[in-house]
Structure 1
Amino acid sequence: MTSPRGPVAAALRARRSYPAVGDAAPTTRELLPLIASAGSLADHASLRPWRIIAVRGPARERVGAAIAEASGLTGPAAEKLAAKPLRAPLLLAIVFSPKPSIKVPEWEQEAAASGVAHALSLLLDEAGWGVMWRTGLQLRSDAVARAHELAPGERLMGWLYVGAKPDGKSGRREPVKARDHLSSL
C-alpha cells in the first residue's frame, strides 16, 4: 500500500497545533484569500452556513471576560480563563450560521462549517502561521454568544488562535492507525 503523496496529504500529515504563538498575525488582506479557498469545501446547496469573526486587540479581553462570566468562577480561576484569548494576537471565531433549507439538514450544514474551519487552519499553517483550534465548556454560553454579537440561531464552533509560529516544532502526534478506524458492512 502506498501513502498519498500529493500536497493535500503532505499538508495533513505536517499539520500541528501551536498552543503558543508569537505576536505577529495575518492582516485582513492576507486572510481574505485563505477564507475564500476554505469556503470552497463541499457544501450541499452552497448555503455557506458559516461566518468568521476576527477578534484582535482589546476585543480579545471582551471575549475572555465573557468566558470567565460563563464559567461562574471568581478570583484567580476566573482570571486564568479570562486571559486565555490573550495567548494569540488573532482569534478567528468560527460561527455556525444555519440557513433555512428543505434539502439540507442542520447537522449537515454544521459539518460544512466545521470543514471550513479545519481547511482554514490548514491554509493558515501552509501560509506560515501557527494555529490552534480551541473550544471550551463555555463555548456555547449566552455570555460568549453576546460577546460575539451572534444572531439568534447562530452557534460558536470555536476559535482558531493564530499568530507567528514559534521556533522549533509543536507537539508530536502519533500516526493514525487507519485499520482501527475502518470497517466494512
Structure 2
Amino acid sequence: MLSDGRESGALAAVANRRSHSQVTAEAPTRAELLPLVAAAARAADHAALRPWRLIEVRGEARDRLGEALVTASACTGEEAAKLRLKPLRAPLLIAIVACRRDSSPVQVWEQDAAAVGVAHLLSLLLTDAGWGVMWRTGPLVRTEAVRLVHRLERSEELLGWLYVGGVPADCTAGNRAVVNPANHLSVL
C-alpha cells in the first residue's frame, strides 16, 4: 500500500498471483521474453554473480524432455505415456537453472536463492503481461536423463520449469487463501 492509500502495481501483481495449471496454445515470443528476463534479473544477487540461466523449451524440445522423463522414471505402458505428455501441457517451458560457482565466497544456497528470485520475478512479470504461468518441479528434475536433455554443466542444477501459455477464457482458478501475516511476521 502506498502512503496515499493506493495499491502499488507490484503489490497488486503479487496479491493477485496464482498458478495456472491449464493454459492455451499461445505463448510469448522470444522478443517478448527478453525484456521480462532483463527485469527479472534485478532480483537480489549477492556479489552480482548472476548464478542462473534460463532455457526456452518449445516445440519438439518438449517431446525430447518427455522422453527424458520416461527414461528417468523407468516406467512403461500407460504410466510412461502420461509422463511423456507432461511437457506438452504448455507451449513454452522455461527451465530455471542454478549455475553454482564453488570458487565464489558466496554460499551455494545464496546462489540458488538468486536463481529462485529470478524465476519468481519472471513468473510475476509474465502474469502481469497476461500469460498463465505455473512453476513445476518433481522427483525427476535432478535425474541424469533430464540433466542431459538440458545440456547442464556439472556445476548446474535444474530447479524446475515455468510452464507458460495463454490464460483460458473460461479460467475459474481461484486465488490461494490469504494468510494472516501476523502468524508469519515476528519481532526479535
Q: Is TM-score (shorter-chain normalized) higher than 0.5?
A: yes
CA contact (8 A) 1:96 1:157 kept: yes
Q: After TM superposition, give the deviation of residue 11 of structure 1 in Å.
A: 0.4
Q: Counterpart of 1:43?
A: 45
Alpha-carbon distance in 1 for matches of 2:9, 2:176: 19
CA contact (8 A) 1:17 1:131 kept: yes
Alpha-carbon distance in 1 for matches of 2:96, 2:88: 17
CA contact (8 A) 1:17 1:171 kept: no
CA contact (8 A) 1:70 1:141 kept: yes
Alpha-carbon distance in 1 for matches of 2:144, 2:6: 43
Alpha-carbon distance in 1 for matches of 2:78, 2:181: 43
SS at match of 1:130: strand
CA RMSD of aligned residues (A): 1.7
Give the direction of change, closer, same or farther, for the CA distance of 1:106–1:4 in structure 2 (3 Å limit): farther
Q: Percent identity?
A: 55
- 1:35-66 deviation digits (Å, cap 9, x = unpaired): 00000111011100000000000100111111
CA contact (8 A) 2:16 2:175 kept: no
Q: Counterpart of 1:183?
A: 186
Q: Counterpart of 1:158?
A: 160
Give the direction of change, closer, same or farther, for the CA distance of 1:105–1:88 in structure 2 (3 Å limit): same
The within-5 A match list for 1:22-41 is 22-41=24-43
SS at match of 2:135: strand
Match of 2:69 among 48, 67, 70: 67
Instruction: Identify which range, 167-176 or 112-121, moves more after superposition.
Output: 167-176
Which amino acid in structure 1 is aligned with residue 42 of structure 2? Answer: S
Q: After TM superposition, give the deviation of residue 178 of structure 1 in Å.
A: 1.2
Which amino acid in structure 1 is aligned with residue 173 of structure 2? Answer: S
CA contact (8 A) 2:101 2:155 kept: no
Give the direction of change, closer, same or farther, for the CA distance of 1:156–1:7 in structure 2 (3 Å limit): same
Query: Is residue 58 of structure 1 aligned with residue 52 of structure 2?
Result: no
Q: Counterpart of 1:116?
A: 118
Q: Counterpart of 2:141?
A: 139
Q: After TM superposition, give the deviation of residue 95 of structure 1 in Å.
A: 0.5
Which amino acid in structure 1 is aligned with residue 176 of structure 2? Answer: R
Segments of structure 1 that go 5 or more residues without pairing to the other structure are none
Q: Counterpart of 2:14?
A: 12
- Work out the number of aligned pairs and report it: 185
Segments of structure 2 that go 5 or more residues without pairing to the other structure are none
Which amino acid in structure 1 is aligned with residue 40 of structure 2? Answer: A
Instruction: Identify which range, 60-69 or 95-104, moves more after superposition.
Output: 95-104
Alpha-carbon distance in 1 for matches of 2:59, 2:116: 25
Which amino acid in structure 2 is aligned with residue 173 of structure 1? Answer: R
- 1:18-39 deviation digits (Å, cap 9, x = unpaired): 1010011111110000000000
Q: Counterpart of 1:86?
A: 88
CA contact (8 A) 1:64 1:82 kept: yes
